[in-house]
A = this chain, B = another copy of it.
Amino acid sequence: MSKLAVVLLSGGMDSAVTAAIAKESGYDIACLHLNYGQRTEKRELKQFDKLCEHFGAVSSMVTDVRFLSQIGGSSLTDERIEITDANLDSTEIPSSYVPFRNANILAMATSWAEVIGASALYIGAVYEDSSGYPDTRRDFFDAFEKVIEKGTKPDTNIKIITPIIDMGKDEIISKGLELGVPFDKTWSCYKNNEKACGRCDSCGHRLRAFEILGISDPVEYEIRLSYKK
């Protein structure tokens, strides 16, 4: 019998590479997309569908989690807050912070995993570009695994796999290229224009990583700035 994993798939680059790694590890994948009211939701959902098709997902689910925008404190979920331009050297927690977001995500994923009988959750958390988010550290995920152990049925056994947590963006892209990830089907920009803006934090990290690798990002940009140090 094949193994089943729930993969958190946002439509971005990191989660796409994470899905590819789950497949490479022999899992059938069930993909979970969360709509928490970002500006970029429609775009991400389109990429989600394309990626599910690419990876041959056995199941997919889109859940509405706009309560996170209600809780507030996030420029990704509040139209009134300006998105700041990329400042890759800042150590402050950015305004796009949704408190304790990963715990909410993992709780939902675990509920679904228990229902469909999945034995793993794959999440594309990356410590390096977490800008100090406390819920992207491996010891947070370890603690959450204990909660799963305590809070699910005795015969349920679900581990949390964070395959890219210690990678840099360039390593993630290298791994993705090795596994044939269709980067043209991913979307990272915080804005929701026809082309990626090339100026926000997320575009900055992505462009810099492709630049380091000497590869052209297949996504179209309004402007391709150099972020190489």
Contacts and interface: CB of A to CB of B under 8 A. Distances in A.
Contact of A103 (B65, B101, B107, B112): B107
Contact of A63 (B70, B143, B153): B70
Find the residue from A102, A111, A146 having the highest chain B CB count within 10 A: A111
Interface residues of A, number: 43
A225 B150 CA distance: 36
B63 A64 contact: no
A104 B107 contact: yes
A134 interface: yes
A120 to B, nearest CB: 15
A73 B115 contact: yes
Contacts of A103: 107, 110-111, 147-148, 151
Secondary structure at chain A's binding surface: helix, strand, loop or mixed? Answer: helix
A129 interface: no
Contacts of A110: 99-100, 103
A98 interface: yes
A1 interface: no
B68 A67 contact: no
A107 B100 contact: yes
Copy number of this protein in the oligomer? 2
A200 to B, nearest CB: 23
Interface in A155-170: none
Contacts of A154: 134
A71 to B, nearest CB: 5
B100 A151 contact: yes
A99 B115 contact: yes
Interface string A120-153: 0000000000000011010110011011111111
A66 interface: yes
Nearest to A137: B150
B151 A111 contact: no
9 contacts: A65-B67, A71-B111, A71-B112, A99-B152, A100-B152, A134-B150, A134-B153, A143-B143, A143-B150
**5 closest A-B pairs by CB:** A135-B151, A63-B67, A99-B114, A140-B150, A104-B107
